[in-house]
Structure 1
Amino acid sequence: MTPPIIRHHSGPPATPPNNDNRIALILALLVHALLLAVLIVNLNWHTENPGPVQVQLWADGNSPVSPPPQPEPPKPEPKPQPEPEPEPQKQPEPAPAPPPTPEPQAQPKAEEVDPEIALQEAKKKREQEEQARQEAEAAKEKARLAEERKQAELKEKKRLEQERQAAEKAAAEKAAAEKAAADKAAADKAAAEKAAAEKKAKEDAAKKAAAEKAAAEKAAAEKAAAEKAAAAKAAAEKAAAAKAAAEKKAKEEAAKKAAADKALKDAFRNDALGAAGIPGGTADRNQAGGGNDSGYGAKVRACVQPGVAYPPPPRSGSNNPTAQYRVKLGSDGKVNGVTLTSSSGNAGFDRAVETGIRRCNPFPKPSTGRYEPIIDVVYRMYD
């Protein structure tokens, strides 16, 4: 800043100029006008419509005989649904107070002030006024932006609430639909099961009735056949009684002779086949697979015989039913497989022999100390 230049005059000092006072007054008025405009813009004006007014008219100052008809009062309009009260608006921040107007400095009592100094001071004041105006506009813009942001937040909150309610409603509808479908499926299943049970009960009842009818018819037929057979048998028995007595005597003589012949043949046969291990030998020495063990057949029979639950009938003649099995053994003597290679002709006897073989588990150990993998077991009913 250029220092003031002081000039000296020989005359009396001049009166200081009034330019600074006028500029300060103008600036003060501008700031007050700006504040008033801000208040007017942010102030909400609420106006109400005046109610209906009734007016009575008199003709020529004379009252009529009867008063004029009163107009019907207008029907009150339906009140609109009150909208949700908005949240109270945030009051805009007050504009910053203008900087205090600098008091006019006392002019030096010198004769005059340099005009350049006055211009610089006026420029500085204008800059201060412009800065105050910009700050006021910035505060107003800030308040406007805050209000817009608040309204946007309210709209977003309302939108999110609507979406949440819609999602809850959709979920409830979906759950209700799923429950209804599940209930319907359960009812259909129960109905189908009931129908199937009823159908099965009817079929079982029909089958039972048919079986009972067939059994009754079969029993009647069997009874008739039995009665007829009994009558025929009685007649045949009566006619064959004498013949049977004669035949019985002849059979007894023939049986005695056959027994004697068989005993003789067996004696010769046992003497010829008495060697150990020869197929067809006696029961106590004839099990192929015993190696050189002459008594292995007797060991096998002693092991198998307790498990053969078949009481042999009385022997007639030289017939001796024989069942032959091939037995697979493990290294520990346990039975791994039994195969019928020759049947005795009696299925019951064959099954009894197989049961006895399977119950002989493990097989007797040969004297050689090693089990053969395959053993042929020959079992005769009367040996």
Structure 2
Amino acid sequence: MNLFDRFFSTDADDDGARPGARDDRRGLIVSLAAHGLLILLMVVGFSTAPDNPGPVQVELWAQGTVADAAAPQEQPEEQQPEPQPEPEPTPEPEPQPDDSARLAAEQAAAQAEAARQAQLAEAQARAAAAAQAKADAEIALAKERKAREEMERRLAEQAAKEKAEKEAAAQAAKEKAAQEKEKAEKAAAEKAAADKAAAEKAAADKAAREQAAKEKAEKEAAAQAAREKAEKEKAEKEKAAKAAAEKAAAEKAAAEKAAKEKAAKEKAAKEAEAKRQALRAAMRGDALEAAGISSGNADRNQRGGGGNDGYAAKVRACVQPGVVYNVPPRNGSANPTASFRTRLGSNGQVQGVDLTRSSGNPRFDDAVQKGILACSPFPKPPGGKYPSYIDVDYRMYD
């Protein structure tokens, strides 16, 4: 604040009064100061005036009244006061030669008038200077007020700008905080989703491992059960096979025993029959050298070939061990018979066996054929020479 503002400031200015009220008070003070200065100049002029002054004209002017002076108006430019016209000099009268006293009086009056005019001009100049000072003061006040208003406007604009910037910064910070919060929430949600997915995957992997372990255990248990079952079945099969083998062995032993007993009986019967035949032959006086030498045929009513009952018994005894067949119990009088023609070499070796009549049982026929083939070489005939073939009839129950 400058010296002028300090001089004309009031408490209301310091307390934040309205700018219009401050301007009114300042205008009133300036107007009072200007009038006081004019009155002082008038007093000084009158005190220095001559004793016989002529008429004096003083022009006083001021805006408003002393009691209620109007506020000075803003003036964009300084206005210089209009200069007062200089008073025209009074033409001096032509001097008269016979009136010197009157001329001296007129000259004195003219000098007094000139002095008065000079004082008046000086008073007017002082008044103009006071008015100019007042105008300058008003212009200065107006400029100062305008500058202050401009400053206030700029400060207001700066404050508004700063406020807007602060609000924008606050809004930006708020938006940034919201974005960061949203980003943090999004990151937290993604992390939660990732953790959930990882937990679900871990649970799925664990369940898969447990399922795989369970399936493996079930497969191992099934394999163990299958092995145990296979071992059990194998043991049962071995047991059954052993029982069957023992049964077969027992049956074979029984069959062999029965066959041996039957063979012994048959041998005894054959021996008795041979004795009878020998006795019959001796009685007939038939001295046959060999069975079937002339025709090569054996007795078809015998089991083996040859016309001698003793030779037929030898042939059966040779063929029978090779016949492997479980003879079933006899039912009725039927006695299946298989007939074969056996081709022999000169050394008695079997060269071929042909089925000439089947017994009706292929298994029995095959067993007899194998027995004939196993009897090689054939027993040597009594005559010492082998025929080209021998017909062999083999009966099941003889």
Q: Same fold (TM over 0.5)?
A: no
Which one has a bigger Cα radius of gyration?
Answer: 2
Sort the TM-score into its range (normalised by shorter chain): 0.3 to 0.5
More helix by share: 2
